[in-house]
Amino acid sequence: MHDPGLAALLLNREMVLAALATALAGVMRGYAGFGTAITLAPIYSMLWSPREGVPIMLAMEALIAGSLVPGVWRLWTRRVTLPMAATACSLLPFGAYALVAVEGQTLRRVIGGLVLGFAVLLASGWRYHGRRPLWLNLVVGAVSGIMKGATGMSGPPVILYLLSGPEAARQHRANLIVFFGMVSLVAMLPVFWYGLAGIAVLVRVAALLPVLLLTVRVGVSLFGRLPERWFRATAYVFLFAVGLMAVAG
């Protein structure tokens, strides 16, 4: 901490706010199987910029992706989740071009709008309730991959699609964990390709990752103990507030 450059990166209001947001995102991810990207992408983009905030979030997501998979490996639905993940991974680099080509404030507001719309749909109770044929799995995966590359968020279409199925809550959670685990690892490739993993990104990842790892475990421990309706209500309010701030900021 004697390096003034390092101190300037870590000892500031933005890092405090980022740590608080990271803790909330970690609990959500551990409990529900999602929440890291859709919570942190808009917040990090507001605190820094999409070109710095999104890579920070992607790096943290990739580093924790594998930690939850072993615990749910026997539960996920391969017929639906595997083609979605494969398609998302193949199209992700095309979406990533927007991260370097689109102006930062515009992209931040797009991210906020997506989060806001997603929160409204979740709270309304709307889900897709039709069949899940292969072609539709591929379409949802494609949209998700492009969104992941451009905004860091692959969750909205996948979550609304997967949560509509007949599986039990534990299977829904397993499908989301495995899908996000696969996509998150591939999402780091464009970050390095476009040279977005600079020293500021790496230092902030190193500082925030322990917070995320710890609070993910807290969320895992709450699954099955905390009533789901309480968790859902809190998550909806938080997502709505984050999206609104990102759009208005």
From CA 46, how far away is CA 241, in angstroms rounded? 13
The model's pTM is 0.83
Tell me if 45 sits within 8 A of 107, measured CB to CB.
Answer: yes
Alpha helices in 130-198 (DSSP H): 134-151, 155-162, 169-193
State how far the Cα of 150 lies from the Cα of 198, in Å rounded to an integer.
Answer: 18
One-letter identity of residue 99: L
**pLDDT, tens digit, 9 for 90 and up, residues 174-219:** 888 899 889 988 999 999 998 888 888 999 999 999 999 999 889 8
Q: CA 238, CA 119: separation in Å to the nearest integer? A: 9
**pLDDT at residue 142 in the model:** 95
Of 83-87, 180-184, 244-248, minimum mean pLDDT range: 244-248
